[in-house]
Amino acid sequence: MALLAMSGLAAACGTNDGVPQTIAMVGSDTTQDVMAALATQYNNNDPSGYNPDPDSNQNVLAISATSPDPGHTVASDGVTSCPTRTYRTPTSAAGEVVRPNGSGAGRDALSASVQAGDGCIDIARSSGAPRAIGTVPGTDLASFEYYAFALDAVGFTTASSHIPADHDITLNEVRGIFNCSITNFSQLGGSAGAIERYWPQAGSGTRAFAQGVLGFDPTTINTCPITLSQENTGLQIHNNSDEQTAVFPYSVANWVAMSRGTVTDDRFGQIYFDLDDSSDPTLGFESPVRQVGGVFEPRTPTSGDPNGPIAEGNVTLVDPTPAYPGVRFVFNVIDNSTGPNSYTAAKRFVGFDNVASPSITSPLCNGDKNSTLVNFGFGPLGNAADPTHNVPGSHCRLYTP
């Protein structure tokens, strides 16, 4: 069977219907900034000729970049029954909707929209993998499709001066911090100083993923303090004056994008521990980031760093017992039951057809947007064919619940 890798322009043939549609995206904080950039490119018809309708991609942030929240108004497109809607947290007028904050909240909003048949939500940004099938919050509809478009990792950070000089920490020591058996940096080989657990907000994909890495939910353990904080920011740690105590899970992509100035830098001194899960002693302690020419980047495998741990083989969907913990796909989730008024338009932006004949392969999935992914700290996926997850040799991977 011949496998075809299509350019964005070629893939557009026969997929645009001449009807301008609004494509609303909600959910993950981890991917909101890169998807905002991609939405802008797509709305500007980049690559040229791919979006002639034109469809309007509306990327609703999980949290507002400014305070007070100015709101994000998504216009009705006349194709679905969804009225013009304003997302704002907190709401300030009747009819406004709270921004879905996090991967779980985004997928739940997509599910609710599909079940209501209103077409209000077309894409859920998610850093979390497929969930159990169901129709209640916290589950996925059987008609969901997860398009993995890049690699990210979750590491553990601190801004404390009590951190061990070598930054080394084992996975069991991380578990000890979050199960309250380790409460002082001196227990890690650092100088004496209390440790305080920080954990992402409810509904966060990073929270769910980090919980999977630990193997337990630290919020159920109350023998030492735990503070919930918006994911992927050191702002609350800073505002609480907890830089010397806090340990926090943090997206590598977001940390790298902040280090580069691609997005606003609110790390407030958070740096990574070098992690070892002790399952493969030949790997030693691995940092999830490296510095090349004075610029930080995720440690994806390269000729100069062939054992870079942020590799597809370390994603638990690929290997349930990876050599290095904490590597994940990031996804866009769409629903295949919604037809041409939502599914087709959304897939044209973030997905591909898992068949070996020319149909839809988005610029995101054919590799055209790899430079944008790199700029925002994500590791692009290769296009090696996989008969289950990307028959056309796409740079995305298709998973279902």
CATH number of the domain bearing residue 234: 3.40.190.10
Q: Say yes or no to pLDDT of 8 above 60.
A: no
Are 140 and 219 found together in one domain? Answer: no
- Cβ-count burial of 312 within 10 angstroms (0-12 exposed, 13-18 middle, 19+ buried)? buried
Could you tell me the pTM of the whole model? Answer: 0.92
Whether 349 maps to a domain, the answer reads yes
Q: Say yes or no to pLDDT of 115 above 60.
A: yes
Residue where a domain stops, chosen among 327, 346, 371: 327
Sign of the dihedral defined by the CA atoms of residues 37, 268, 378, 139, in that order: negative
User: Is the pLDDT higher at 11 or at 138?
Assistant: 138
Q: Which amino acid is at 156?
A: F
Are 294 and 361 found together in one domain? Answer: no
The pLDDT, as a whole number, for residue 387 is 79
Are 134 and 32 found together in one domain? Answer: yes
Tell me the residue range of the domain where 85 lies.
8-151+329-399
Are 141 and 232 found together in one domain? Answer: no
Asked if 392 contacts 11 with a C-beta cutoff of 8 angstroms, the reply is no
Which band of pLDDT confidence, cut at 50, 70 and 90, is reported for residue 1?
very low
Residue 278 tokens, joined: 């002790």
Number of domains making up the chain: 2
Whether 186 maps to a domain, the answer reads yes
Average pLDDT on 235-259 reads 98
The DSSP bridge pattern shows strands 397-399 and 144-158 to be: antiparallel
Whether 1 maps to a domain, the answer reads no
Are 348 and 308 found together in one domain? Answer: no
Q: Which amino acid is at 230?
A: Q
Residue where a domain stops, chosen among 281, 302, 327: 327
Asked if 336 contacts 143 with a C-beta cutoff of 8 angstroms, the reply is yes
Are 100 and 160 found together in one domain? Answer: no
Which band of pLDDT confidence, cut at 50, 70 and 90, is reported for residue 13?
very low
Whether 2 maps to a domain, the answer reads no
Mean of pLDDT over the chain? 91
